[in-house]
C-alpha cells in the first residue's frame, strides 16, 4: 500500500478507508495513542494502537522521535483535538529513537537550544511551520516573476568583482595556505591560483543580472550571497539568499511599482496558503511577548500586520523629507533615538525606519533619492549632483526590507562615480561594455529573502528562518 500524507487525510473529509501513514512519533500516551507527524502539516494524526495485539517489544520501541509506519482504517475521532484518527491494524518501527538521549522532548525548548540542535529542530511545531512558510514564500516569488514574463537567471557564486564596493568578501582559493606563492613584492601571487586571479564569494548577483536585462529585458536572480561582515546581530547572516530583479526601460517609479506589487502578492499568497502555520506562529508570538513591557511588544498581531501591508498603499517620500520628519519628531527632540538625527547625510537606522512606518505614517514607506555618499557607485545621479535615484522599502517591525535604484546608464557619469569610489576601471570593463553598446534606462532592486521570511513569520532572530545559519564563529552542520 502506498503512503498517504497526514495532510491528505485531514483534507479528504471522509472515513472508513484503509491507509498507510509514516511519520515521527511526537508522543505515545497510555501505550495506546500515538501522536504522529510527517511534516506535511502542522497537525499530528492520532494513531490508535491495540496494545493487546501488539507485542511488548514493539510497544517499547514506540518512543518520542522514533519513525514508524502504521496501516489501518480512518475513522471519526472520538477524542478532542482532531477530526480523524487511524485505528492501527499493524505497526512497523522504521527507525528507533533512544528516549533518554533524543534532544527534542515533548516540552518547550528555548530557541537558543534549538539553534544548537538545528539538525533536529525541523521536527518541532515552530520550525516545521517556519520552513513550510519559507517554501511558500519562495514559490510565490518565482510564480510572481514567471507570470509577468521574467526570466530566472543563475548568477555566479564565485566572482572577481565586488558589486557593493564594500570589500567585506569571503576569499575563494585553491592555494596551499601553508605554502603560499609570493610575487616580487612579497604579496600572494594569485596568478598561480585556480582562476589565475583573486576571487571571492558573491555579495550580489545584480551586476550580472544587469548584463542579462540589457538583452532579455526582464530577469531576476534568486540565489545565495555572502558577506564577511563581523555583525553578530539578530538581523545579519554571513550567508543568505537574495532576490534581485533587473528590468530594462524601467525608471525609478516603475521599479517602486514592481517591488510594491511583488511584496503585496507574496504576502497575500502566503496568507492564503499557510493559514494554519501563521495562526500557530501568531499565537506563539503572543505567548512569548506576554511578559514583555507593552513598548517592546509587536505593534500588531502577526496576521493583522501582514494584512496591513496588503491593504495599505505604500507612502512614497524623499530621503530629505524623511530627515525633516525625523529631525522634528518627539523621540529625536527628547533624545529617545539611540542615533540622533541632526540633518542631511545621516544614514538611517532601524529605529528611524520603524518610527516612520509604525508611528508617523502607520503605513509601509518607500524612501527615495538618498545622498550619493551613502549609496553604491551604480545608482543614477540626480541633476542636483548630491543625491541618487535610490529607493528603500520600509516595513513595520523590521525596517528596511528592499533596497534598489535606477541604475546609472550614462558611461561618463558611471566612470566618474567609480573614480570617486576607487573602483578599478580595468576590472569592470565587462560591466562598462553595457554602457558602450546600446545602453538604456534600467532599474532593479534587492530583497533579502531571510528578511522577508522573518517579517512574514514574526520571528525575531534571522538565524531562526534559515535552516543552517552562518554567522561569525559559527558554521555548524
pLDDT tens, residue by residue, 347-406: 999 899 999 998 999 999 999 999 999 999 999 999 999 999 999 999 988 889 999 999
- φ, ψ of residue 165 to 5 degrees: the values are 70, 20
For residue 280, give the nearest of 107, 455, 459 by alpha carbon: 459
pLDDT band at residue 416 under the 50/70/90 scheme: very high
Per the structure block, which three cell numbers stand in for 283? 499565537
pLDDT at 294: 83
Question: Mean pLDDT across the chain, nearest whole number?
Answer: 94
Longest dimension (CA), the chain: 85
pLDDT band at residue 298 under the 50/70/90 scheme: confident
How buried is 235 (Cβ within 10 angstroms: 0-12 exposed, 13-18 middle, 19+ buried)?
middle
- Does 310 score more than 90 pLDDT? yes
Q: What is the pTM of this model?
A: 0.94
Contact indicator for 105, 120 with CB cutoff of 8 Å? no
pLDDT at 427: 83
- Does 165 score more than 60 pLDDT? no
DSSP string, 395-429: ETTTEEEEEEEEB---HHHHHHHHHHTT--TGGGH
pLDDT at 236: 87
pLDDT band at residue 452 under the 50/70/90 scheme: very high
Q: Taking residues 325-342, report their average pLDDT.
A: 95
| Residues 255-272: tens digit of each pLDDT | 999 999 999 999 999 999
pLDDT at 469: 95
| Domains of the chain, earliest start first | 6-102 (2.40.50.140), 123-168+203-464 (3.30.930.10)
| Residues 20-45: tens digit of each pLDDT | 999 999 999 999 999 999 999 999 99
- Does 166 score more than 60 pLDDT? no
- φ, ψ of residue 343 to 5 degrees: the values are 170, -170
Quote the CA–CA distance of 32 and 29 in Å, as a whole number.
6
pLDDT at 399: 87
477: Cα separation from own chain's centroid: 19
Contact indicator for 401, 447 with CB cutoff of 8 Å? yes
Q: Taking residues 179-198, report their average pLDDT.
A: 94
| Residues 42-95: tens digit of each pLDDT | 999 999 999 888 899 999 999 999 999 999 999 999 877 789 999 999 999 999
Per the structure block, which three cell numbers stand in for 169? 568578501
Q: Taking residues 88-104, report their average pLDDT.
A: 96
pLDDT at 292: 86
* Best-predicted range by mean pLDDT (56-60, 126-130, 167-171, 181-185): 126-130
Chain length of the chain: 477
CA angle 26–32–37, rounded 5-degree value: 25
Angle between helices 125-147 and 449-457 (to 10 degrees): 120
Q: Taking residues 425-436, report their average pLDDT.
A: 92
- Does 9 score more than 70 pLDDT? yes
Quote the CA–CA distance of 105 and 253 in Å, as a whole number.
52
- φ, ψ of residue 365 to 5 degrees: the values are -130, 140
Tally Cβ neighbours within 10 Å of residue 328.
Answer: 10
Q: Taking residues 416-440, report their average pLDDT.
A: 92
Q: Which residues contact 287 (CB under 8 A, 6 or more apart)?
A: none
- φ, ψ of residue 207 to 5 degrees: the values are -60, -40
The edge-to-edge listing of strands for the beta sheet with 199-201 is: 158-159, 199-201, 171-172
pLDDT band at residue 162 under the 50/70/90 scheme: low
The C-alpha R_g of the chain, in whole angstroms, comes to 27
Amino acid at each position: 500500500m502506498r503512503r498517504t500524507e497526514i495532510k491528505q487525510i485531514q483534507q479528504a473529509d471522509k472515513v472508513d478507508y484503509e491507509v498507510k501513514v509514516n511519520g515521527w512519533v511526537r508522543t505515545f500516551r497510555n501505550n495506546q495513542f500515538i501522536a504522529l507527524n510527517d511534516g506535511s502539516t502542522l497537525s499530528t494524526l492520532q494513531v490508535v494502537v491495540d496494545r493487546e495485539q501488539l507485542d511488548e517489544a514493539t510497544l517499547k520501541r514506540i518512543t518520542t522521535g522514533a519513525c514508524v509506519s502504521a496501516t489501518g482504517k480512518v475513522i471519526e475521532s472520538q477524542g478532542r483535538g482532531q477530526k480523524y484518527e487511524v485505528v492501527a491494524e499493524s505497526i512497523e518501527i522504521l527507525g528507533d529513537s533512544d528516549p533518554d538521549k533524543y534532544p527534542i522532548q515533548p516540552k518547550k525548548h528555548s530557541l537558543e537550544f534549538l539553534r544548537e540542535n538545528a539538525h533536529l529542530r525541523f521536527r518541532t511545531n515552530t520550525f516545521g511551520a517556519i520552513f513550510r512558510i519559507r517554501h511558500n514564500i519562495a514559490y510565490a516569488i518565482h510564480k510572481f516573476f514567471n507570470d509577468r514574463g521574467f526570466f530566472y537567471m543563475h548568477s555566479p557564486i564565485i566572482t572577481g568583482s565586488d558589486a557593493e564596493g564594500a570589500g567585506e568578501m569571503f576569499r575563494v582559493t585553491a592555494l596551499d595556505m601553508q605554502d603560499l606563492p609570493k610575487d616580487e613584492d612579497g604579496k600572494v601571487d594569485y596568478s598561480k591560483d585556480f582562476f589565475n586571479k583573486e576571487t571571492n564569494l558573491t555579495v550580489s548577483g545584480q551586476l550580472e543580472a544587469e548584463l542579462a536585462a540589457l538583452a532579455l529585458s526582464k530577469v531576476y536572480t534568486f540565489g545565495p550571497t555572502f558577506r564577511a561582515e563581523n555583525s553578530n546581530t539578530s538581523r545579519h547572516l554571513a550567508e543568505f539568499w537574495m532576490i534581485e530583479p533587473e528590468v530594462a526601460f524601467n525608471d525609478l517609479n516603475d521599479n517602486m511599482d514592481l517591488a510594491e506589487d511583488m511584496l503585496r502578492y507574496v504576502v497575500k499568497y502566503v496568507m492564503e496558503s499557510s493559514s494554519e502555520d501563521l495562526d500557530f506562529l501568531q499565537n506563539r508570538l503572543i505567548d512569548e511577548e506576554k511578559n514583555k513591557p507593552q513598548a517592546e511588544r509587536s505593534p500588531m498581531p502577526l496576521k493583522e500586520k501582514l494584512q496591513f501591508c496588503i491593504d495599505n498603499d505604500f507612502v512614497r517620500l524623499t530621503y530629505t523629507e524623511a530627515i525633516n520628519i525625523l529631525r522634528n519628531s518627539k523621540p529625536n527632540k527628547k533624545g529617545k533615538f539611540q542615533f540622533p538625527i541632526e540633518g542631511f547625510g545621516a544614514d538611517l537606522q532601524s529605529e528611524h525606519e520603524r518610527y516612520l512606518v509604525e508611528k508617523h505614517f502607520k503605513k509601509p514607506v518607500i524612501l527615495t533619492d538618498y545622498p550619493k555618499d551613502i549609496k553604491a557607485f551604480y545608482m543614477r545621479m540626480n541633476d542636483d549632483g548630491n543625491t541618487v535615484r535610490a529607493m528603500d522599502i520600509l516595513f513595520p517591525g523590521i525596517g528596511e526590507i528592499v533596497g534598489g535604484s535606477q541604475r546609472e546608464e550614462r558611461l561618463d557619469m558611471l566612470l566618474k562615480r567609480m573614480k570617486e569610489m576607487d573602483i578599478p576601471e580595468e576590472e569592470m570593463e565587462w560591466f562598462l561594455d553595457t554602457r558602450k553598446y546600446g545602453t538604456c534606462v534600467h532599474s532593479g532592486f534587492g530583497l533579502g529573502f531571510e528578511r522577508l521570511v522573518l517579517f512574514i513569520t514574526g520571528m525575531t532572530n534571522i538565524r531562526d528562518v534559515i535552516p543552517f545559519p552562518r554567522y561569525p564563529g559559527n558554521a555548524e552542520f
